[in-house]
Amino acid sequence: MALTIHDLDTPAVVVDLDVMEANLARMAAFCRDHRLRLRPHTKTHKVPELAHAQVRSGACGITVAKVGEAEVMAAAGLDNILIAYPVVGALKVERLARLALRRAMTVALDSREAAAGISAGLHSRGASIDVLVEINTGFGRCGVTIGPEAIELARYVASLPSLKFRGVMVYPGNMLVDAGKIAPLVQNERTRDAEIVELFNRAGLPIEIFSAGSTPSAPITGDLPAVNEIRPGTYIYNDMNTVGSGACTLADCATTALVTVVSTAVPGKAMMDGGSKTFSSDTLRTGKAAGYGYIVEDPDAVVSGFNEEHGHLDLRASGRKYRVGERLRVIPNHVCAMINLHDQVYGVRGETVEVVWNVAGRGKLQ
């Protein structure tokens, strides 16, 4: 007899496989249509089997955030891995060298210190790696400023043994805004991208890979002619922030937490058995929804707050009657943060549990 979602204890992360497969196919088709290489960021799911599914659906390789995530993916047979994060420190560089001896690896970086450290560590071990120089197009996180210092860093990279300068990485993360506010940001990003291309061409360092990130910004990549590779992550599952950004609909959210109502003692409220240790405390950054998640069975309920193991449902606007013991499904605000709190996720087709995946990359913080 097949396992069903009714056999799962709560809280549990449930992935609707039909929705997820449609999400994979849609992004792959978008990239084919727009002649973009797709290099999905696997930090969203951290499951090697899903990374393989992304490659089967047309990805050219994968993106990870940390050396530890790259090790998990490489051990599972993935290849052509971009670490979209500065690899700093001798311990990480040593592990990166071991990876680079077995797999095609790329790193993004924005400092001479990172470049010098990686070059020295890889060269002494006979390994080599591709490098993207990260450039700040407005998000203000990592990335050198557009101008002489970007060229100086690229030249420095090109001069070092074991490093090959391949292009640039940008993060249009400021695209995580309400759909209606996106147009001026797209215009700004397009102008910056053109400046970057012109700058590097003039310096005799033509950009081969121009990598841009994020699921919310993916749909507008067609309007960014410089970009030829994208690194969306969230699109495989989607979440309330993606809905709010206009990059997907509620029906495209593949992943929910299955929870149980554990208390209805306080008038006007109900408590579910998932709080910040199930969902994370990540707030909504986009859209019209409110609170810490969307109750599929009762859109009028507001997830008004979290404690570690309690999710507070404010029922003042809801006509629904809640009872202790019943189950609900909740779309999280930020699915990447939720997945990172779980050791397993359950892939379901209808109510049948078809597969259980280990979140093998979870906790690989170094």
- Which residues of the chain form contacts with its own copies (CB under 8 A)? 9-12, 43, 65-66, 85-86, 88-89, 91-92, 110-111, 113-114, 117, 134, 136, 140-145, 173, 260-267, 269, 271, 273-274, 276-278, 280-283, 307-310, 312, 323-325, 336-337, 340-343, 363, 365-366
Residue 35 CB, nearest approach to its own copies (Å): 29
How far, in whole angstroms, is CA 235 from its chain's centroid?
8
Rounded (5°) CA angle 81-86-90: 95
Strands 105-109 and 294-295: unpaired
- Smallest CA-to-CA distance from 272 within 298, 251, 245, 238 is with 298
Q: What tokens does 186 get? A: 């797209």
Looking at beta carbons only, is 57 or 215 nearer to its own copies?
215
Residue 129 CB, nearest approach to its own copies (Å): 17
Residue 307 CB, nearest approach to its own copies (Å): 7
Q: Describe the chain by its helix, strand, coil percentages, rounded to 5.
A: 35, 25, 40
Looking at beta carbons only, is 24 or 108 nearer to its own copies?
108
Looking at beta carbons only, is 106 or 264 nearer to its own copies?
264
Looking at beta carbons only, is 145 or 352 nearer to its own copies?
145
Looking at beta carbons only, is 36 or 272 nearer to its own copies?
272
Residue 42 CB, nearest approach to its own copies (Å): 12
d(CA 74, CA 366): 15
Q: What tokens does 103 get? A: 């797999």
DSSP letter string over 226-248?
A: T--EEE--GGGT--HHHHHHTSS
Residue 241 CB, nearest approach to its own copies (Å): 13
Q: Which amino acid would we find at residue 159?
A: S
Q: How many residues does the chain have?
A: 366
Looking at beta carbons only, is 11 or 61 nearer to its own copies?
11
CA distances from 44 to 54, 59, 130, 231, 293 (A): 12, 15, 24, 11, 17
Residue 268 CB, nearest approach to its own copies (Å): 9
In the three-class reduction of DSSP (H, G, I as helix; E, B as strand; rest coil), residue 86 is classed as coil
Residue 32 CB, nearest approach to its own copies (Å): 28
d(CA 366, CA 363): 9
In the three-class reduction of DSSP (H, G, I as helix; E, B as strand; rest coil), residue 170 is classed as strand
Looking at beta carbons only, is 2 or 265 nearer to its own copies?
265
